[in-house]
A and B are shown apart, each in its own frame.
Chain A
Amino acid sequence: MSGSQAATPWMKRSANPKLDRVMVTPEGVPLNVTIAPAGARVGALLLDLVMIQLISMFIALLCIVLAIPFLDGETDFQNLDGPLGLIAVFYLIASFLLLNGYFIFFELGYKSATWGKRAVGIRVASRDGSRLTAEAVIARNIVRSVELFLPLTFLDSVEAGGSLVDLTAWAGLLWLLMFMLFPLFNKDRLRGGDVIAGTWVIQDVKKNLGDIVAPSALAPEGAAPAASYQFSDEDLSVYGEYELQTLENVLRGDQEEALEKVAAAICQKIGWEPGSGDERIFLEAYYTALRARLERSMRFGRRRKDKFSAEEQAGG
Chain B
Amino acid sequence: MSNEQALNAAVLRSDRFRLEREADWIRLEAIVTRMEKGQARLLSDEDVLALPTLYRTLLSSLSIARENSLDAGLIDYLEGLALRSYFMVYGTQSSFRRWLGSFFGGGWSRAVRAIQFDIWVALLVMIAGAVIGYILVAGDSDWFYALVPADFMDVRVPGASEEALRGTLFGAQEEGGLAVFAAFLFSNNAQVALLAFALGFAFAIPSILLLIHNMALLGAMLWVFAQRGLTVDFVGWLSIHGTTELFAILLAGAAGIHVGRSIAFPGAQSHLKAASDAGKRAALVMAGVIFMLICAGLLEGFARQMIDNTIARFGVGGGMLLLWLIYFFGFGREGRRPDA
Contact = CB atoms under 8 A, between A and B. Distances in A.
A81 B80 contact: no
A80 B176 contact: yes
Interface stretch (A37-45, A53-61, A205-213, A264-272): A205-213
B232 interface: no
Interface in B49-90: 56, 59, 62-63, 66-77, 79-84, 86-88, 90
A198 B272 contact: yes
Contacts of A288: 11-12
Interface stretch (A104-112, A159-167, A254-262): A104-112
Nearest to A205: B80
Interface residues of A, number: 83
Contact of A29 (B40, B59, B81, B184): B59
A146 B177 contact: no
A181 interface: no
B187 A134 contact: no
A305 to B, nearest CB: 12
A18 interface: no
Interface residues of B, number: 86
B38 interface: yes
A292 B80 CA distance: 25
Interface string B232-254: 00000000000000000000000
Interface stretch (A62-70, A90-98, A274-282): A90-98
Contacts of A217: 10-12, 15
Contacts of A147: 198
A207 B25 CA distance: 12
Contacts, number: 228
A245 B79 CA distance: 16
A209 B25 contact: yes
A88 B180 contact: yes
B14 interface: yes
Given A206-B80, A248-B71, A196 B201 contact: yes
Contacts of A220: 5, 9
Nearest to A288: B11
The binding surface of chain B is classed by DSSP as helix
Contacts of B282: 139, 196
B136 to A, nearest CB: 22
Contacts of A32: 79, 83
B70 A298 contact: yes
A205 B9 contact: no
Interface of A: 9-10, 12, 25-27, 29, 31-33, 76, 78-81, 85-86, 88-89, 92-93, 95-96, 100, 108-112, 123, 125, 127, 130-140, 142-147, 150, 192, 195-199, 204-210, 212-213, 217-221, 241, 244-245, 248-249, 252, 288, 291-292, 294-295, 298-299
Given A85-B176, A218-B6, 18 more contacts: A9-B66, A29-B62, A29-B82, A79-B177, A85-B177, A88-B183, A89-B183, A92-B180, A93-B187, A96-B191, A110-B38, A138-B284, A139-B282, A196-B201, A198-B272, A212-B15, A213-B71, A217-B11
